[in-house]
Structure formats: structure tokens, C-alpha cells
Amino acid sequence: MPITDDQIFSIRDIIDSQLETREKRRIGRVSDIEAIWQEDGTLVLSSLVIGPQALAGRIASPLRSIVRFVLRDRFDHGIPLDDVEDFGPTLRLRGSAADYPVGQSDAWIANHILRWIPGSGH
């Protein structure tokens, strides 16, 4: 089947795009992408990366290592490309927020911080 224009994406269409889960929760934006060389010599996009280290690397490459030294990979997470159900202005994921570490951030803040403030709806 021939590929149509709608099916061709540039890196610019993916990076910084909104990530939305199955239940339409906004969990973050794509900070960076990871690609792997296949044995046949082709470069294949493998996963989307979300986190402060990836973002720091986009400001200036040396910053990535500095932030990595401080945060030690704790807050950067990858989402396999196969999990993206729908490409477009918003990348729709197959899973729910609880299925992704980055999607659990809101729940962690709600459960550990906001719950102590009256009226938080916890």
C-alpha cells in the first residue's frame, strides 16, 4: 500500500508534541526521541523520551550530563513507539496514565502533597 502524505512525519512533528492517554489525560510532552540502527543499516525510531535530562540536553549538550549526574536517570522515562495509537497534533497513547511512570507524577503529587491541603478533592 503506498504511503500518503498524512502518514509521513518529520521529527519536528513528534518532538514537543502533547502526549495524551487513553482516558484523555495530558501527561507531558515529548522531550526527545530514541532511535536504533537495525542490522540492515536502517535507522528506526524506537521510543519517545520524557524527562528533565532529555530537556536539558536540548538546551545544551553538556547540560544533559550535568543534570544526569544530579538526577541519576530517576525522572526520565521512555515510552515505546508501539504504544502510540494515533499520531497527529496530539500523540494518543494506548495505555492509561497509571501505565506510564510519567503519567503517575500527578497521582504521586496528589497522594503525597496535595492531599494534606483541605479542598484538594483527594
* Residues near another protein (CB under 8 A): 15-19, 25-29, 31, 55, 58-59, 89, 105-107, 109-110, 113-115, 117, 119-122
The single residue listed with the C-alpha cell 494515533 is: 86
Smallest distance from another protein to CB 79, Å: 13
Alpha carbon distance 77, 23 (integer Å): 20
Residue closer to another protein by CB (options 12, 39) is 12
* Secondary structure class of 45 (helix, strand, coil): strand
Burial of 101 (0-12, 13-18, 19+ CB in 10 A): middle
- Beta carbon nearer to another protein, 44 or 115: 115
Buried (b) or exposed (e) across 67-96, using 16+ Cβ within 10 A? Answer: bbeeeeeeebbbbebebbeeeeeebbbeee
Q: Minimal distance in Å, beta carbon 122 to another protein?
A: 5
- Residue 51: CB minimum distance to another protein, A: 11
Whole-number minimum distance, CB 43 to another protein, in Å? 21
Instruction: Name which of 1 and 117 has its Cβ closer to another protein.
Output: 117
Q: Which is nearer to another protein, 44 or 96 (CB)?
A: 96
